[in-house]
Amino acid sequence: IDRPVHRLTRGRHTFASLVAGLPVVMLTTTGARSGQPRTVPVLGIPATDGLAVIASNFGQSRHPGWYHNLRAHPEAEVVVEGAHRRVRAVVADGDRRTRIWAEGLRMYPGFEQYERRASHREIVVFLLEPAADA
């Protein structure tokens, strides 16, 4: 439902942002194997040095597809409230990851359950920094 609502509102909202008030953004990555653009709705977590996304995949045993895409091709585009931004994904670690994770839990407590489910893998946090050419 997020994609049609996103189109109808010209990129300003998704279903989740309208109903739950969550800051869902549209992330466009380049397919790791296909090289084709892939757009997915993800929770955008404001961070001091950019926007962060958490590759939880609802706590499933595997990382989401967009995780693999960003690892292979870190350059991406994100649409936030209708504004298109070119970004470069960097894996957040250490204190940076801890801060972003805490903010993610504040915004969406469900990440805690996802972390328990995915105990066999670390849920990766990406910081989407402004691209050098942006």
Amino acid at site 83: A
pLDDT at res. 18: 47
**Confidence class for position 4, pLDDT limits 50, 70, 90:** low
Per-residue pLDDT tens digits for 73-110: 999 999 988 889 999 999 999 999 999 999 999 988 99
Q: E strands within the chain?
A: 24-30, 37-43, 45-47, 50-55, 75-80, 83-91, 124-130
What are 85's strand-pairing partners?
A: 78
Q: E strands within 8-123?
A: 24-30, 37-43, 45-47, 50-55, 75-80, 83-91
Per-residue pLDDT tens digits for 27-81: 999 999 999 999 998 999 998 878 999 999 989 999 999 999 999 999 999 998 8
DSSP state of 104: H
- pTM of this structure: 0.84
124 φ, ψ (degrees, to nearest 5): -85, 140
pLDDT at res. 3: 62
